Structure formats: C-alpha cells, structure tokens
Structure 1
Amino acid sequence: MKLAHILVAVAVGIATITSWATGTSAEAATAQSVSNLAAKGHSIIRSVYRVVCPSGFGTGFFHKSGKILTAYHVVQNCPNPMAQGFDGHVISLVVQAADEGLDIALLSPMMPVDAPALPIENDDHLEVGTQVATWGFPAGYPGEIPLLSVGYLSGQIVFQNQQGSNVDQWVVNAAFNSGNSGGPLIDIDTGAVIGIVDSKLAPISPQAASAIAALEANPSGLIYSGMGPDGKPINASEAQVVAIVLDELRKQTQLVIGMAIRAQDIRSFLMAQKIDP
C-alpha cells in the first residue's frame, strides 16, 4: 500500500472515531440534561402556582422569603389575587410590592405555604445556548399541575418600557404562551431561577394594529351580549366582536420565541424590598 493511501486511511479512521466520540458525548450530555430535568421537575411543580385574577390568570413561584414572585402585568388592577397549587389548594394573596417598569410583583400569601423555595441564580455570566425550562399554566389549559416547556437562551434584547427606562431581557427559544407569564425560567443544569417568563413574540404590523383599534372603537351596528374575562356581562357591537376574535387569534400565534426578566433584575427588586434574594 502506498504511503499516501495509508495516510488517507488513517485520516478517515481518525475522523470516524472523532465523529463517533463527539456524537456519543452530545448524546450523553442530552441524556444528562433529561435526567436533571426529570429529577428537578418533581420538586419544582410543588413550587409553581397558578395566579388567578378576575380578568385572567398567570403563573407564579415560591421564594424563600415565603412570598410568591410573578410578573406585574399578571396582577395589575387585581385587588384580590388567588394562587392555586398543584394539588388544588387555593391561597388568598396580597400584592406586597411591584415594579411596573421591570414587570415584577411580590405576593404575600394569607396563610403559610408548604412548598420548596426556588433559588434565584447569583451568576449573571450565562451563555447563549444554555438549556432552560419553565413550568406554568398556558391559556386554555385547565389542569392543576403546571406544564413543562423547554428551550434555550437565544440572546438578549434591550427595549424602552412605558416609563421611559431601558430594560434588558433574555430572549428564549421556547414555547411561551399567555398564562405562562410570571413563571420561573430555570437553568436545567443548576435548577436555579435565571429569569421570570414575561412575554412571547407575536408581531403585528402597524396597519393591522390600526385596523383592530378602529374596530374596537366602533360602537355602531348590531349589539351582542356576552361575558367578559371577569365573568361580568358585556355588550359589544359587531365590529367590536370581530376585534375581540382577531385579538384572541393573535394571542394564539406561536413563533416559539419569548422574553424573560433577568435574574439580576429579580435580585435588585427583592433587595429594594429589603428581602434577601
């Protein structure tokens, strides 16, 4: 056999072994992540609550302070929120503190809570590609046990909130839906909370948004009677009914991209309330 042929054969053999080893390593890492997820999941579901208000619901999770953390918009204009645990028990809550700009709220249970606390991550040097998970209650899901959604950190985004401040959030490649807001975003490897689920990407063009706004503002035509999210009767014109349906359909849009409040902002919020994160 010529030397050139020998070198080619050796190179092919090395490449084959490397490919096999790399594949085996990746499969092992995936298997380890699945194992970590399964082990932590049994405990995490006991810490995650459905947060219920007359106008809708979201998700929250238990913190070592004895409080429940959620997104502020879940409990906005909600004087008497409730929390429902995985076993069906219901707890009355009081909004103790909130930061509208960061979209974080701290809820005080009116009775002791028997649940494991989820730790807040202290290391802010997380890498894009970190595998993450959240448990929560997406809209339309009536069950008592929170559902799992798994994804990856995809990047970060800076936007200006309604208060005029710049806010930095995680961009997550995962299926977030209405109702997941306020849930814990968890690093699968460590089990620590690295964020709070805040929103999902559901883009709409200015033209479409303007058209829906025009429909919402049109009170003329036949009037239909119905029931609002809070259970109270409402009256709506034909145009307003169409706007309601279009808005509901838009909420079902799923690009599998969402945003989450970062752990450093959660810690800052808690320290502002003189609470050890």
Structure 2
Amino acid sequence: MFALSLEARARAYTAYAANSAFFPLIAAVLSGAQCGAAYADSVEAPRQIYVEHAFGFAQLLGESTPGFEAELQKYLLIDKAFAAPKVRLYTPLLPAFHICEPMQAVRAERQRFFLRTEVYAETRARLLSRSAADCVVLSVTTETVSRVESAFGLVSRFWPNAAAFVAHARAQVICHAGEAAAICYAAALENGRAEVDIFTRPEYRGKGFAMMAAVRFVDDCLAHGVEPLWDCFTNNAGSMALRERLGFLDCAAPYEFFTIAR
C-alpha cells in the first residue's frame, strides 16, 4: 500500500466526483478539506485506492486488485493499523475478503436517500407550524461555536477545526428555553453535496427538535444550491422515519457496511 500525494489525491477526486457511490466524507479527504489518509496499489498509475477519513469512515475505489486487497486485509483485520478507534467501511465496491468470518461478524446494511423537493415543499409548512413557541434557531458563528461544542461535542468530529465548521458545516441549532437542544449540519460538503448529520441531546429527544433542525438545514441547502444526502442504517427506525417525513424518498440500493474496531 502506497500513500497518495496531495496531487494524486486531487486526480482521484476528479474521477470520484462522477462515482455513483459518492460520499462527501470520502471526497473531503481527497480534496484536503478534511483530514485522513489515502493508499493505492501504485503511486504512478493507481488502479485501486483506499480512502480513510480521520473519524474512520472509509471507502474502496477503483478496480479489484488482489495484491492490494490482501495488504488492506492485513491493515484492517490483523495489524489494525488505522488511527481512529473504528473504521467504518462503505462498500459499494466489495473487497474480496468481505466474505471472511471477521468481516461478516461486523457487517451491517446502510442505504442512501435523496430529497424529493416537491414533497418537501408540501410538507415543510406543516412541519414548521408545529415548532414550539419557545424555540429559536442559533446562528453558528465564531462567537457561538464554543457554545455549540459545549452542548454537542462534535465540532471537530469531522471538520479539522472550529473555523472550518463555522465556514462550511451550515449548522442549524435549535435552542429550547435558552438551551441548545438539537443540531443538523453537514458532516462534509463536497461537489455541491452535503452529508447530513443530526444529533439531539438525550434530555430533548422525542420532542420534534431534530425535525426542526433538519428543516432549517434543508432550507439552507436548497437556498444555496446544495443537495442534502441522507444515509443511515436500514434498521435505524428513528432515522428512517425522520427522512421519510422530510421527503427523502428516492433511494439507492442498500449496501454492506462494516465497522471494524481496534
């Protein structure tokens, strides 16, 4: 496995932008917007590339190359040489070793959903009409980002620093009775597409705050020509119900997902 230079990552990004299995978090590593590593079977003319975000999300790209996949299997399952506590492997392209017992033991299924804007437009007013009178939207700025981090602890989960989070995450925070309750933001934003992430503090769950934050986030995306992408585990009943209510109805085929812990 050879580490890819920044120039090689940029070339890979150009090809990846047209990939039907495009994940903004992976693209962010290739573009340099977020931290991570990229390895290939060759420095000069890579046929297969493995991209790993600093938080652990990873993807295998290109054409299957047995020698490279054997090295990757050792890296992931034997040496566990990755930096993050867990690797979370998106696998629309399945490595040959996905059938081995250690991989099957950590297998799950995820699915991607796309917004139907006409459905969203029809339901948006109804959703917003249910907003609690004592809720406000907090603008995330350099002055308020420390408050957001204190409430949720996720400003640096994906983004390299607070400044990058403020500038690019398009975060929408719902405050209830003066306290930050829920947030919806872009875990990554690449090529006009945003990876949606939502979090509600435990004491505020079940009150509709996640929905309120998501509506504000989708509004912001649509106003700026950004396509929000919803991706979740197929057995995550809460996320599946929320995306359906919002109008994320068009879907790609479910795909295998492996969570490999050190």
Name the TM-score class by shorter chain.
Answer: under 0.3
Q: Which has the higher contact order (CA 8 A, sep 6+)?
A: 2
More helix by share: 2
Higher Cα radius of gyration = 1
